[in-house]
Each structure stands twice: as structure tokens, then as C-alpha cells.
Amino acid sequence: MCGVFTHLVEQLGVKDVQFEELLSLEVEDLRALSPLYGIIFLFKFPVDDPSVYQDAKAEHPPDGQYDSTATDNGLFFAHQSIQNACGTQAVLSVLLNKDQDPTDPAAAAAPHTTIPSEDANSSIDIGPTLRSFAQFTSSFPPSLRGDALSNSSPIRRAHNAFARSNPFVDEVARDPDASQSEDVYHFVAYVPVNGVLYELDGLREHPISHGPVDGPGGPQDFPAAVVPILQKRIARYPAGEIHFNLLALTKDLRVRAREVGDTMALVREEEKRRNWAWENELRAWGGWVGFTGTVLRETATQNIRGGGDAYDKWVEEARGRTKTRVQTKGRLKD
């Protein structure tokens, strides 16, 4: 999942970031990832529980308070209208609230165009594609922003590149032919904006405020502020429930390794990227089945194009090799 999302944002032109899976909710572990831009919470969506849909439309959320004025103060928030793309939307909910334009001459004085009071390390160069989208939709209400997301060609192309891996299942539009036991998941973003910790869920009417981003580390201690919120949410699940995951958006760990001269860390991160690239390539082919099918189809096509009896010869050669292997295996057993 981390490799999918990291490649997704890179395809959109975002610079020097990556996703890391959180294996614990210890504040110090999150601080070790600093700068920590935001967290994506992935959880199993109980599609058969009608109370879940009623909760999404309730006057008050289970935790925190709705903030209907947040978008007026620069927060990017969009209602979910992209089918099968709640993961993409959660990722963009973090990125579009963390933009730092490197070409802005005012960047030195105000390093973050949306959150000028925050440290420069809390900002991301999201690139011209997403920056243009953010500027275009800056005056839109959440519902129209959701529609704009669904009609953005660059975002749709980046998302569709991983459609076969199915990491963005739409929890409100299940395939009627799908098995009733099939698990469906939803993604929610947690991000500090304007000194406030927000929960951004496209199925809800408004952003949810969880209060000031404050903790022992100071007024911008996002890890200390978000950990108890996440722990409280996880505690609402039945005992033994494991169908959730946490992904942190942080600075590219290769960049950080180079900055501090940590050669071993750089080697580990480069190896991780190579593994991600391989996994993403398999997803693009539809997994091993799709990959194998494509190889066989292309091989057959090339032999057919050879003309004459090329295809028949290829089949006979394959049969001969198979027969030889079977005979060899039989002799070995004897």
C-alpha cells in the first residue's frame, strides 16, 4: 500500500515525500518520522450496518466537532464523489493542505501559502498539477470540489494506473455481483491545518476538528495530538478486530538519509524503492495471473506472425520439451 500511494503522488508531481506504515502508536515513533505531514487511517467499512450511514449524516460526529467554517479559512475539504477512490481522496486531503510553492517569492517570508504560521518543514512542494487544481477549486464548496476531483484528467489517470490492484474500493457503491463476504475499506485523513487537528472524511458533511495541535513538544506537536485521537477511534472496534491500517505521509527517507550522511539507511531505502517498483509493476499487469496471460498471449502472437507453419512448429517444440521433462522426472524417481 505504501508503494502504491508513494508512486501515485509522484505521478502527480509531488516532490520528496513517501508513505510509511505505522506499526505502533507510540508518540516517539511518530516523532522519529518528522516531518510528519499527515496520517491516513484505513479501516474496514461495515457496509451491512445501516447505523454507519446514519452516523455519517448525524448532527455531531462520534469524536470532535464539525467545523463548517474551516474551508473559509483555507482548509481544503471535498465531499467524496469519485467512485472507488476514497484512498486517492484521503491522500489529496493531506497534500492539498500542505502546499509550499517554491516559485513564490513570498515563500521565504511565509513558507507555507495556506499555513504561514507553521514551520517550513511542515510544507510540501505538491507540484504544478495539484497546485493548479487547488487554485482552480479554492472558492468551491466541498460538494463541487468533489465533482472537480472526479473530472480532473491528471488525477484520474494517476488513480486508474492502480485500479487493477483495487486499493480504492468505494464503500457506498459495491459491485452487485461481488461476494457478500468481500471486505470493503474506507480511508480518512488526519492532518494539522492552521494549528488545528482535522479529520477529513469525504463521506461527512464537514471537516471534524479535534482541537489545537498541542502537546509536550510544543504548539505544533502533531504526533502527541493525533495519537490519543487514533487510539480512541481504534478502541471503538470490537476486541480482536485487525482490519485497519495506518499510513504516515512523511519526507522521502532517502533525502533525509543523504542529509545526515546515513549510508546504511540510504541503502535500505533504495532497496525498498526497488521492491515497491516491482510490486507496482505486477499490479499494473493485474498480478501474476495477468502477467502470465500477457506473456503467453504475446508469445503466441509473435509465432503466428511468423507465418507458414511457425505456430505449429512452436507448439510441437513445446510438447517435445514437456515430454522430455516428464520422462526425466520419471527416471529420477526410479
Beta bridge partners of 185: 44
Active-site residue, selected from the candidate residues 7, 79, 86, 159: 86
CA 103 from centre of chain? 27
Q: Are strands 196-200 and 65-66 parallel, antiparallel or unpaired?
A: unpaired
Distances (CA, A) of 181 to 46, 48, 171, 177: 11, 10, 13, 12
Look at residue 291 and give its three-state secondary structure: helix
CB neighbours of 52 closer than 8 A, spacing ≥ 6? 45, 46
Residue 210 designated active-site: no
Rg of the chain, C-alpha, whole Å: 24
Helix (H) or strand (E) holding 83: none
Q: Which amino acid is at 292?
A: T
CB neighbours of 142 closer than 8 A, spacing ≥ 6? 71, 77, 78, 79, 205, 206
Give exposure, 16-41, as e/b (b: 16+ Cβ within 10 Å).
ebbbbebeeeebeebeebebbbbbbb
Length of the chain, in residues: 334
Rounded CA separation 112/106 (Å): 9
Residue 86 designated active-site: yes
Active-site residue, selected from the candidate residues 79, 112, 159, 186: 186
Which three cell numbers mark 151? 473530472
CB neighbours of 156 closer than 8 A, spacing ≥ 6? 150
CB neighbours of 27 closer than 8 A, spacing ≥ 6? 215, 223, 224, 227
Tell which phi-psi region holds residue 194, choosing left (phi > 0), alpha (psi between -120 and 50) or beta: left
Q: Catalytic site residues?
A: 86, 186
